[in-house]
Chain A
Amino acid sequence: MSLLEIAELETFYGASQALFGVELDVAEGEVVALMGRNGMGKTTTIRSILALSPARSGTIRFAGRETQAMRPHLIARLGIGLVPEGRRCFPNLTVAENLSAAARPGRWSLAEINGLFPRLAERRDQMARTLSGGEQQMLAIGRALMTNPRLLILDEATEGLAPVIRHDIWTVIRTLKAEGQSILIVDKTLAELLPSADRCFVLEKGTTVWTGRPVDLTPELQDRYLGV
């Protein structure tokens, strides 16, 4: 059974429609890539999953429950850990506070996160606003993991980072995948994304236009849907 199932999702920003029937599903233990050019609705889809931008129609089922009428914090508690676009930590809290505020019992504890990201352990008493971009991204991932999510959502987790940090983060993503963590991931670096993903969904103008395994995403299709 799918962990997350989205059907005919339509979402509006005020009067303007952003999603025109998105179809998406993520199975337990699967890494799914959500792809598409800028402005095609990837982030809006993610915001709709957590009801940050509530869906106007369609269904979203997570862990067997319809969630589109639920409030964001209750959906998050069902087991969704979001790493939002643009590394949104709490700048006025320390690293340790950022992590502990999110904590829910499970596999991931403060010690585990410190093991995963030794940099965060070094900076535990520093305010999040003083961290580098890469460190803030690690913190955002760590914070999402601290909620011990059944589904981890990464929205442009490696955007704008130095190559060496990018590499570290991809290593962590692969580690999580190897552990059987379900992940929904949006990213632009196909060279890293495609080998890690089990399946891909491509959005165009707010609808799902292509679904399949990464190997089937031929250079022609990449050019058609993702090329600039």
Chain B
Amino acid sequence: MTISRETAINVTLALVLLAMPFVALQLGKPFYVTLATRMAILGLAAVGLNLALGLGGLVSFGHAAFFGVGGYAAGILASHAFAGQPLNLGLFALPGTNQMLVVWSVAVLAGGLLAAAIGMISLRTSGVYFIMITLAFAQMTYYFAISWPAYGGEDGLSITIRNVVPAINTLIPINYFLVCYALLLTALLIFALIRGSRFGAALQASRQNELRVASIGIAPFRVRLVAFIISGMITALSGALYADLNRFVSPSMLSWHMSGELIIIVVLGGVGRLWGPVAGAMLFVVFEFVLGGLTERWQFFLGVALLAVVLFARGGLIGFLAGRMRHG
């Protein structure tokens, strides 16, 4: 069996990301562990977006909503656990928790519900209207978070102590990196399974032509909605991890900048490519860190890089290195 070039690049990326924090520790630069964790988390968020954008052709400019909701799930549950007050939901009260497994489940559930609601309405539109309506929904969650004083409003919400996973001390950065890395690999596996499935074929087909899909007896709306919900769930999970990484949640996680960054990450890495979002996230964090250290206006250079990718490397970094997308 021959290994395709893309597979080789993917494996290299996976190993580089995994090795990075260990090398950093050897070199006595523990800060880089956090940087690698950030890459893994943003990569995970972009894997979620890639499902909608890359496979379904759904240019969602509102994925910050899911990212932020995941973040707030972590922040709110942790703050209640810390204060020892249950979370009153009207009909019943929920105790706060500092268990990440619970936090993740709540984040994924909340992200999925929000994606279902947003998707039900947005997916009736397409093209530029879809972009605008998803942006509008995300901005609604943003202003909601700003104007809700109970959880910090504009100032955001701190997580006093990072939430915990049974048997793993997440306060040690390298451990937390490995947790995030494992979740990233799981999400990539889910993405690969979906892409190879009948559902994935229908999703990609409906990107091409809705009527043609309907004429073989598949409801394009339902396929897209399910994809959008799964996409929102993955991005919400990454939001929860991001909140725990920074031990802080703020409305900026919900802002349109965040949605834009996620799109940039996917485009930089390679739309629809399995490891595209990870490559994009690594590139993005490197830009942010290296150029951000040199100039405040590092986003100018990010823009130049994005322009270069769009003009000269349509498949993003992965496409540039591995050539056009191949199947089978």
Write the residues of chain A forming the contact surface with B, with a CB cutoff of 8 angstroms: 50, 52, 71-74, 76-77, 81-82, 84, 88, 90-94, 96-98, 100-104, 124-127, 143-144, 146-147
Given the complex of chains A and B, what is the CA–CA distance between A128 and B211 in angstroms?
A: 18
CA distance A52 to B209 in the complex (A): 12
Q: Separation in Å of the B52 CB from the closest CB of chain A? A: 16
**Other-chain contact of A101, B202, B211, B214 (Cβ < 8 Å):** B202
Nearest to B203 among chain A residues (CB) is: A101
- Cα A104 to Cα B217 in complex, Å, equals 9
Inter-subunit contact A72/B215 (CB<8 Å): yes
Q: Is the pair A90, B327 in contact by a Cβ cutoff of 8 Å? A: no
**Nearest B-chain residue to A149, judged by Cβ:** B217
- Chain A CB within 10 A, most for which of B198, B208, B216: B216
Whether A92 contacts B207 by the Cβ 8 Å rule is yes
Residues of A within 8 A of B216 (CB): 76, 81-82, 101-102, 143-144, 146-147
List 14 extra interface pairs beyond A52-B215, A82-B215, CB under 8 A.
Answer: A52-B211, A72-B211, A73-B217, A84-B212, A92-B205, A93-B205, A93-B327, A101-B205, A101-B218, A102-B218, A126-B328, A127-B327, A143-B216, A146-B216
Given A94-B328, A101-B198, A103-B198: A76 touches B215 (CB 8 Å cut-off)? yes
Binding site for A on B (CB under 8 A): 198, 201-202, 204-205, 207-209, 211-220, 327-328
Determine if B201 and A88 form an interchain contact, defined as CB atoms under 8 angstroms apart. no
Total residue contacts A-B, CB cutoff 8 A: 79
Residues of A within 8 A of B219 (CB): 71, 73-74
28 A-B pairs with C-beta separation under 8 A: A50-B214, A52-B215, A71-B214, A72-B211, A76-B214, A82-B216, A88-B209, A88-B212, A90-B201, A90-B205, A90-B208, A90-B209, A92-B204, A92-B208, A93-B204, A93-B327, A97-B201, A97-B204, A97-B205, A98-B205, A100-B198, A101-B202, A101-B205, A101-B216, A101-B218, A102-B218, A125-B328, A126-B328
Taking the closest CB of chain A, its distance from the CB of B7, in whole angstroms, is: 15
Residue of A nearest to B205 (CB): A90
Bound CA–CA A99/B176 (angstroms): 43
Q: Which residues of the partner chain A approach B213 to less than 8 Å between Cβ atoms?
A: 73
- B196 nearest in chain A by CB position: A97
Contacts of A96 in B (CB 8 A): 328
Q: Which residues of the other chain, B, contact A88 by a CB distance below 8 angstroms?
A: 209, 212
Q: For B215, what are the chain A residues with a Cβ–Cβ distance below 8 Å?
A: 50, 52, 72-73, 76, 82, 84
